[in-house]
Amino acid sequence: MSAPNMPKVAGIDSTVPAPAHTGPPLDDLPSAPGALIRDRLAGWVSDLTTLHELTERLAGTSSLDSALKELLRAGAALVGARRGLVVLEPADGLGPGTTLGLGLTRADLGHLETVPRRASSYGRLLDGPAARTEPVAVPDLFRDTEVDPRQREVAVRLGYGASYAVPLVAATGAGAVCGRLGAVVWLYDEPAEPVERQRHLVGLYTRYASAHLARLLELERARTRAATIAEELLPSRLPRIPGIQLAARHRTGPYGGGDWYDALPLPEGAVSLSVGSVSGSGPGAVAAMGRLRASTRAYAVMEGEDPVAVLSDLELLLRLTEPARTATALFAYAEPAQGKILLAGAGHAPPLIVGDRRTEFVETSLSAPLGMLACWEAPSVEVWPAPGETVLLYTDGLLRRTGDPMDRAYARLHGAAASVPPSARNDPGAVADHVLRTVLPGGPDTGNAGGAGSPGSAEDVVLLAARFD
């Protein structure tokens, strides 16, 4: 039998017969073992690189909210989904609890919460002593006969056809918080299910994420405890005194600082005003702050009309009882009826007077913080605020949270006070709020516009405003 004619192609002689013995096509040849090993190694290296990048991004988060958002985003990329939600619900019941969504509006999350919890993927992972510890996959919500009708209705409304849920469990030793932390669910637009490789990768990732969340959860609880203690040590309300209106704003830093403020009515219609800051952070600084504030009140009752004597006594107490600490403080003895303030400061930022005709810092003498010299003493200063003017006392945390050098921070504070709208100047609380919003555009809880990672964002902020009628 003659060989078939070859098609005529430029540069090829079709008259040359085909070889009598031909091998199988290259595509049919079995792959060499070395090539398979190389392919598998390349796949493993790619997976490890991806996991390393994602865990590095997660490790860079410093708050529960940012970590949960990163978990949702990274997990969605690993399992090939577009949307999802995470439910933080620690099993010990100590909180905090929250629900965040990826690609879901608040209304969408509300619709998902209407699904009976026992029927939801995260409910099956979180509820009851028999809660599952393995992932829950629903590859096709519309063909699965065990799916709750309400869940199917919500899936139609939101436009998703499958889900994959993974528990968040912190192993013992991952942090002070261990056990079940919550669950994360990813939603597919159409019926789908992650393949074995995707399951393995997201399992490794969520295991690391759970340990990271456990550490952040314990830190958040510690911050909350420190903030609660600090708030309890500060005045729950400011006194009402004829001739003067008072307002205070206090924001505790993430590690719990030692900033305080106080206002105490004194005989003959006078009032003492004080702000201060203890060095350090954490429970020790908060406790030291409470002791110094209480002592300042006692000294104010005994000799408040002499601010230098009050701060001298406070310096002696600090040196004897807290030798390893320093503190800055400003104490003012105000007589609203006379429109007079007598004040002294120890290493503290100068007060700021805000009025219709002037916005200026009070010139106080330079002095060292309390606890740095063998004997502290500095002259007092008299201030005569006009009716309608507001005196702002603040701690340097307000300046440090800007992240600017101190000269620029002072300039920013001065500009913020000068820009207070005339309609707000009759209310010291409105004045304080305007100054905070202007000096810290990102909010007093996050530092400057750069967010929580900005310089100085861990500082306490205290602002005490006194408006003279």
Please tell me the predicted confidence (pLDDT) of residue 443: 53
Domain stops at, among 177, 193, 225: 225
CB of 468 within 8 A of CB of 426? no
Are 277 and 318 within one domain?
A: yes
What angle do helix axes 196-233 and 283-303 make, rounded to 10 degrees?
20
Are 293 and 329 within one domain?
A: yes
Please tell me the predicted confidence (pLDDT) of residue 288: 87
Are 316 and 442 within one domain?
A: yes
Domain stops at, among 225, 243, 271: 225
User: For the residues of 293-360, what is the DSSP string, one character each?
Assistant: HHHHHHHHHHHTT-HHHHHHHHHHHHHHH-TT--EEEEEEEEETTTTEEEEEEES-PPPEEE-SS-EE
Are 82 and 127 within one domain?
A: yes
The CATH number that applies at residue 145 is: 3.30.450.40
Are 178 and 319 within one domain?
A: no
Are 217 and 122 within one domain?
A: yes
Rounded to whole angstroms, the Cα distance separating 448 from 176 reads: 31
Are 76 and 187 within one domain?
A: yes
Does residue 3 form part of some domain? no
Mean pLDDT for each consecutive 10-residue tract of the chain (469 residues)? 42 40 48 70 80 93 93 95 94 89 94 91 81 85 89 93 93 66 95 93 94 91 79 85 93 77 93 92 83 93 92 90 89 94 92 93 84 74 93 93 90 94 93 93 45 50 94
Does residue 46 form part of some domain? no
CB of 23 within 8 A of CB of 11? no
Please tell me the predicted confidence (pLDDT) of residue 378: 76
First to last CA, the chain: 118
Record the pTM. 0.66
Does residue 20 form part of some domain? no
Please tell me the predicted confidence (pLDDT) of residue 255: 65
205: CB partners within 8 A, 6+ apart: 51, 54, 55, 74, 75, 78
Are 181 and 308 within one domain?
A: no
Domain stops at, among 199, 225, 251: 225
Does residue 27 form part of some domain? no
346: containing domain: 234-468
The one-letter amino acid code at 351 reads P
Are 238 and 208 within one domain?
A: no
Does residue 96 form part of some domain? yes
Structural domains counted in the chain: 2
Are 330 and 193 within one domain?
A: no
Does residue 6 form part of some domain? no
Are 173 and 275 within one domain?
A: no
Are 150 and 240 within one domain?
A: no
Please tell me the predicted confidence (pLDDT) of residue 209: 94
Please tell me the predicted confidence (pLDDT) of residue 270: 94
Does residue 398 form part of some domain? yes
Q: In sequence order, what are the beta bridge partners of 391?
A: 353, 466
